[in-house]
Amino acid sequence: MLRGLNAGATIKITGGVSINDIDRAPGFAFAHKLFASIIWPQYGLSVAVLWWLGLTAVGAWLLSRTRFGNWIFASGGDATSARNVGVPVSRTKIILFVMTSVTASAWGIMTATSLRGMQSNEGVGREFEFIIAAVVGGCLLTGGYGSVLGTACGAAIIGMAQIGIISSGWDSNWVYFFEGVVLLAAVLLNTAIRRRAERAR
């Protein structure tokens, strides 16, 4: 519904699915400097990397050092048991959805301020990549286990692989093949580890 509303409203307002000349909008220069400027020109290092590291640090602290982090693990592991011990499971999940949306909007702002134009459907379909990054980083698809640092490492691996495959001159479709192989290997490894842990109990 939201995807269709986004595309339909954009066409209604602008006459197309793309928004051009973003760099002419008031305040763009400040937003570009804050979210998309190059801070180390010699290596092409963007300020977005600092945002990534900062958000990773905040997420790691939140998940491992706070009561809310314990609620997240409990809600993902066994919602019924979590409710029985007083964890507000529904509220925890809603807050997580909100935090995910805020983080996604931050990524959208960084992407938009680094370009002169933007498609309204930018980022659609990339959910699979985010799932792969989380699984490669050690998160269980069944919930209840994972880490922010592991997910950040998984995202870095996926990102470097995408850039490396294209920079090597390979066809970009090999990126999808690599992502599928990595996801399959991560799921098989997670399943094996979980079964071994259950047998050890």
φ, ψ for residue 91 (rounded to 5)? -65, -40
How confident is residue 201, by pLDDT bands cut at 50, 70 and 90?
low
pLDDT digits (tens, 9 = 90+) for 74-89: 998 888 999 999 999 9
Mean pLDDT across the stretch 21-30? 85
User: What is the distance, to the nearest Å, from the Cα of residue 125 to the centroid of all Cα atoms in its chain?
Assistant: 12
**What's the pLDDT at 86?**
92
Say which residue the tokens 């009561």 belong to. 67
**pLDDT attached to residue 90:** 94
Determine the Cα angle at 196 with ends 193 and 198, to 5°: 110
Q: Which of 5, 51, 21 shows the shortest CA–CA distance to 112?
A: 21
Which one has a higher pLDDT value, 59 or 127? 59
Report phi then psi at 74, rounded to 5.
-65, -45
Q: What is the pLDDT of residue 26?
A: 87
Structure tokens of 107?
């990524």
Tokens read off for 80? 């019924």
pTM: 0.77
Average pLDDT of the chain, as a whole number: 85
Quick: pLDDT tens for 168-186. 888 878 888 888 888 888 7
Q: Where are the domains of the chain?
A: 19-120, 125-201
pLDDT of residue 200: 66
Q: Identify the three-state secondary structure at position 120.
A: coil
Please name which of 154, 144, 148 lies closest in space to residue 64, comparing C-alpha atoms.
148
What contacts 8, CB < 8 A, 6 or more positions away?
none
The pLDDT of residue 197 is 63
- Closest alpha carbon to 131 in 68, 180, 188: 180
